[in-house]
Structure formats: structure tokens, C-alpha cells
Amino acid sequence: MTIHKEGYGTLVIAGLILVALNIMLHQYAWVPAPWDLIISVLSGLFYLLILQFFRSPNVNTDLDPNLVYAPADGKVVVIEQTLEQEYFNQKRMQVSIFMSPLDVHVNRNPVSGKVKMYNYHAGKYLVAWHPKSSTENERTTLVVENAAGIDILIRQIAGAVARRIKCYVEEGDPVVQGQEFGFIRFGSRVDLFLPQEAKIKVSIGQHTKAGKTIIAEI
């Protein structure tokens, strides 16, 4: 288990603030026992909570051109046929994964192939489960074409808490199943738009692991 690079600055700042606050409380404020110990313990637990937000586990993905893997850790909240209007302008199978603050926030490529399209959209910060979050929130959209010429659309969506989306690939880049393509701070949502004939292998409420859980066969 390693710490993701997106967390370095936050962890240093949070650590300095917590240490300074504890020094001030113990040196310049009268805090009766056992409250001094309780405050120190709570500070440590709070720092561990921030630390786990930025954990980045090693993931070994079994490469398979016929499979679509989960792009994120989280809970499956949407499985439905929907009209995708940004790129396909036709009905696709949508699978959405909600990332809670306790989930790993690394996003991984669901398929291998080439990035055909990348768009960033500034937008609102509606809660991630809001029906309009997929089209109105801050988001990035990737379309990856696999070796068989099948296009898969991946959309990272910001939420009410998640205010920073990072995407590390650009149009024209080759990508490999299971490798990291982005990061969303403090949870939110990732949508997949698949061909209508895709065989969905997950169910509503199921918890997924990025690069490990099979979302569909294509």
C-alpha cells in the first residue's frame, strides 16, 4: 500500500496544522485531564482518516479484451439503458459507481485501447447521486476505442464534497486495462457507457474494486 501523489500536499498541511493546534492547546491553554489525551487521540484519528483517503493499493489486472473492468472502487448505483448525448447520440448501457469518502479514489482504465476523445467540463457540484449530476456537474469525459473497434465512454463526475478531478491521459494516448488514468478527491462518481449488447456482470448495490471487478463482457 502506498500513498497517492495527490495526497502529499494535503497530508503535509494537515499534519502541520494538527501538530500546531496540539502544541498550542497543551502549552498555552489549560486543558484538564483526560481531555488533553482525548484531543490528541482525536487529532491522530482525524489524520489517519485523511491518510486513508489517499491510499493507492497495488492492483494486478488480468488483461482481457472481452471484459470491461470497474474504473473505480465503490457501489454500483445505476444500471440502465440511457441516451448518451455528448459523444454517441444514441442509447447505451450506463453503469455508474458511487465512490464514498472511505473508498480508494484512484480511477483505472476499464479497457485497453486508444483515447479517441477527452473533454473537460466545468460545472456545478450537485450531490453525486443527483439525476442531473452526470450532465451538469464538473466532469471529464473519455472515450477509449479497444482493439476490436468498440468505443467505451468513461465519465468522472465531481460531487458536493469532491471538488477536484484529475485525469492523466489525453486524446491519442494508448491506455492499458487496470492502469491508473485519474483520481477524484474525497469520493464522487464514475459513469461507464457501454454498447447496448454488453452483458452486464454486476448488480445494483454491489461493491466494486477498480481493475478487479468485471463490469461487463463486450
Q: Which residues are catalytic?
A: 188
Q: How far is CA 52 from CA 20, 48, 76, 127, 165, in A?
A: 22, 6, 21, 22, 18
What three-state secondary structure class fits 135? helix
Report the alpha-carbon distance of residue 71 to residue 212 in Å, rounded. 9
Are 97 and 189 within 8 A, CB to CB? yes
Q: Where are the beta strands (DSSP E) in 5-89?
A: 55-56, 67-69, 74-84
The HSE-up count of residue 177 (CA atoms within 13 Å, CB side) is 23
CA torsion sign for 48, 53, 55, 58 is: positive
Q: What's at 184, amino acid-wise?
A: I
